[in-house]
Amino acid sequence: MKVFFFTVILLVLTSCGSTRVNYDYYNQTDFTSYATYNYFGDMETGLSELDEKRLMDAMDATLGEKGFMFSEEPDMFINIKSVVFREQSSGSNVGVGLGGGNRGIGGGVSIGIPVGGPKMTRELQIDFVDSNKDMLIWQAISESPFREGDTPQEKSENIQAVVNKIFSKYPPE
């Protein structure tokens, strides 16, 4: 019984704050031909200046570990887009009812009150574009929990975790 209880708690904790990533790529691409990268100069990322710097630092470190080099004349350009949106918590409601009746005649009123407030989610889109063909070759779109009041250290750790998850499947096999 203890193992069952522990498993249920673990599932609840991991499902609430996980990062989901969807990948897409042009399947005719030879990803081994790409060794250098740079960012588009006119990116409008949707991030604050500090978060943009954190994200680019995390991406530079991760791409460096994968053998890619930053270059002024790159094989591919990277574009970043981000948006934060609010979602209403789903599933949990408390029902309150009131009813009455007299001699076969009845009536009632019931309302559902949502439990928990809206949650904030950050969607981050990263595009890799072949610099010679000006063609999108790889894309990742992640959704992860977002909290406005995080400390700078927490923001850096969260961004690095998202970047690690995004690039865990790059290059595609």
128 is a domain residue: yes
Show Cβ contacts of residue 112 under 8 Å, excluding neighbours closer than 6 positions.
Answer: 93, 94, 95, 96
What residues make up the domain containing 23? 17-89+119-169
165 is a domain residue: yes
CATH of the domain at 138: 3.30.160.670
pLDDT digits (tens, 9 = 90+) for 69-84: 999 999 999 999 999 9
68 is a domain residue: yes
Whether the CB-CB separation of 36 and 74 falls below 8 Å is answered with yes
143 is a domain residue: yes
Work out how many domains the chain is built from and give that number: 1
For the record, the structure tokens of 158 come out as 């969260």
66 is a domain residue: yes
pLDDT for res 44: 93
DSSP-derived secondary structure letter, 33: G
pLDDT for res 6: 41
pLDDT digits (tens, 9 = 90+) for 118-155: 688 999 999 999 999 999 999 999 999 988 889 999 99
95 is a domain residue: no
78 is a domain residue: yes
pLDDT digits (tens, 9 = 90+) for 8-59: 343 334 444 588 999 999 999 999 999 999 999 999 999 999 999 999 999 9
For the record, the structure tokens of 129 come out as 């574009």
Whether the CB-CB separation of 140 and 165 falls below 8 Å is answered with no
2 is a domain residue: no
**Using only C-alpha atoms, what is the Rg of the chain?**
23
